[in-house]
Amino acid sequence: MVEISSDVIRGYNDTMILYILQKAPSYGYEISKQIKQLSDGKYIIKETTLYSAFTRMEKNGYIESFTAAPEADGGGKRRTYYRITASGQQYYKEKCEEWNLTKEVVEHFISVEA
Amino acid sequence: MVEISSDVIRGYNDTMILYILQKAPSYGYEISKQIKQLSDGKYIIKETTLYSAFTRMEKNGYIESFTAAPEADGGGKRRTYYRITASGQQYYKEKCEEWNLTKEVVEHFISVEA
DNA sequence: AAAGATACTACGACAGACATAGTACGATAG
DNA sequence: CTATCGTACTATGTCTGTCGTAGTATCTTT
């Protein structure tokens, strides 16, 4: 079975996370579930990859964190939520453009159909 | 201007090289020129990246090296040529399949048009 | 009371890409 | 006849994102 290698996806985990945060603020576990779901179960992000992406992106100013209790139920443990910043939105846009370019380039070297 | 980042292309340099070697055996400088040309000048592989890819892929059995003088002119300096192996062809095929899958996954997270 | 899902943090290792630098040969121009 | 440019590499070390492993702690369900 063909699997997505980390080298391929490298650099696009951030983009996936930002895509989700663009819709609404979210937190680790929820984001990982959404990535799995949006990719039809084809890609499951590793926990350490996810959380280190948070740290990196917050340091770079692409996201901001805040803690809050789950909204659904009254109580529960407080979680660390993340929200995309204006800079993060700009970065996301650039990564999308980069992706379109990369796709175009790589496809010149691909000769086997799916 | 949008540029291809190394993280994105990471893991696909090998695929590009193998694509070229599938057509005919070749050597470093020639391959780098072909990559540039095939990508319409959009991607220029770094020398060190190229040569370290050769070393790695030969070690992995995807390519074989041999030295030969340039065919065109009679004499000249001998170069190190590379030829794809059966294992390399298989690997290339797998990378193409992986690419198709990866593309499908990533596109779910891209919302900005080219 | 135990198990499983949730929600993280810490630490270290790995590998591909890259910067920098250096060697050496051949062809061409001034 | 020599300086420069293009060709054709090799060596070494750094950086960064990903991942393996491990541990902590809460909440829910059985």
**pLDDT per residue over B34-92, tens digit each?**
999 999 999 999 999 999 999 999 999 999 999 987 765 545 678 999 999 999 999 99
Half-sphere exposure of A3 (CA within 13 A, CB side): 6
Contact A61, A83 (CB under 8 A): no
Contact A90, A22 (CB under 8 A): no
Tell me the sheet residues that pair with A52. none
Q: Do A8 and B9 touch (CB under 8 A)?
A: no
* In chain A, % of residues over pLDDT 70: 92
Choose the closest CB to B108 out of A2, A39, A104: A39
pLDDT of A78 reads 81
- pTM of this prediction? 0.90
Nucleotide nearest to B48 (CA to C1'): C18
Q: Do B108 and A11 touch (CB under 8 A)?
A: no
Q: Which residues contact B50 (CB under 8 A, 6 or more apart)?
A: B13, B17, B28, B31, B32
Shortest distance between the Cα of B74 and any Cα of chain A, in A, equals 32
Instruction: Give the tokens for residue B89.
Output: 């062809």
DSSP-derived secondary structure letter, A81: E
Q: Confirm whether any atom of chain C, the nucleic acid strand, is less than 7 Å from CB of A102.
A: no
Contact A108, B23 (CB under 8 A): no
Chain D bases closer than 7 A to any CB of the protein: 7-13, 17-22, 26-28
**pLDDT band for position A20 (cuts 50, 70, 90):** very high
Segment B16-37, tens digit of pLDDT: 999 999 999 999 999 999 999 9
Q: Do B96 and A104 touch (CB under 8 A)?
A: no
Which chain A positions have a beta carbon within 8 Å of B93's beta carbon?
112
DSSP-derived secondary structure letter, A10: T
Choose the closest CB to A109 out of B15, B100, B109: B15
Burial (CB count within 10 angstroms: exposed 0-12, middle 13-18, buried 19+), residue B64: middle
Cα-trace Rg, chain A: 16
Phi and psi based region of residue B41 (left: phi greater than 0; alpha: psi -120 to 50; beta: remaining): left
Confirm or reject contact between A93 and chain B (CB < 8 A).
yes
Contact B88, B109 (CB under 8 A): no
What's the rounded Cα separation, in Å, for the pair B51 and B35? 14
pLDDT of A100 reads 93
What's the CATH class of domain B6-107?
mainly alpha
The three state secondary structure string of chain B is: CCCCCHHHHCCCHHHHHHHHHHHCCEEHHHHHHHHHHHCCCCCCCCHHHHHHHHHHHHHCCCEEEEEECCCCCCCCCCEEEEEECHHHHHHHHHHHHHHHHHHHHHHCCCCCCC
pLDDT of A82 reads 98
Confirm or reject contact between B44 and chain A (CB < 8 A).
no
Q: Which residue has the higher pLDDT, B25 or A1?
A: B25
Segment A30-84, tens digit of pLDDT: 999 999 999 999 999 999 999 999 999 999 999 999 998 776 554 567 899 999 9
